[in-house]
Amino acid sequence: MLFDTTFFIDLEQELYAGIPGAAAAFLQKVKRMPKAVSTVTIGEFAVGASDADTRRMFRGYRPVALGRDTAIFAGRLQASLPFRMGENDLWIAATALRFGLPLVSNDAKIFPHIPKLKLYRY
């Protein structure tokens, strides 16, 4: 499964507050499953976190980098949709679809409207 930026922001807020919430509970439920993260998500998270905190947060997640084939897939995905996506959400959705990974996100604005994207909410 591929984890979206919103998940890590929620998890970081829970850790900072010292109060486990929905993100921590979801992680507990899927602890034995393989976990992946787009390099786009790592970059988005790093905007508001130190290098050390960013590395710590993504330890145990397989980073999935963008490449030519994912870029082409993202372009085709955007062309097929009747609405415009933000670039980072497009990259993340395309990565999940291209690699057949369900996406973990509570972002209800865009992701639920993408055909064939399996979405796990927490």
Per domain, the residue ranges of the chain are 2-120
Q: How many CA atoms lie within 13 A of 8 on its CB side?
A: 28
Q: Can you list the residues of the chain whose pLDDT is less than 70?
A: none
For the chain, give the mean pLDDT: 97
pTM: 0.93
pLDDT of amino acid 98: 98
Nearest 5°: the CA angle 109, 36, 121 is: 35
> Residue 17: what pLDDT?
96
pLDDT at residue 108, as a whole number: 86
The CATH superfamily holding the domain 2-120 is 5'-nuclease (3.40.50.1010)
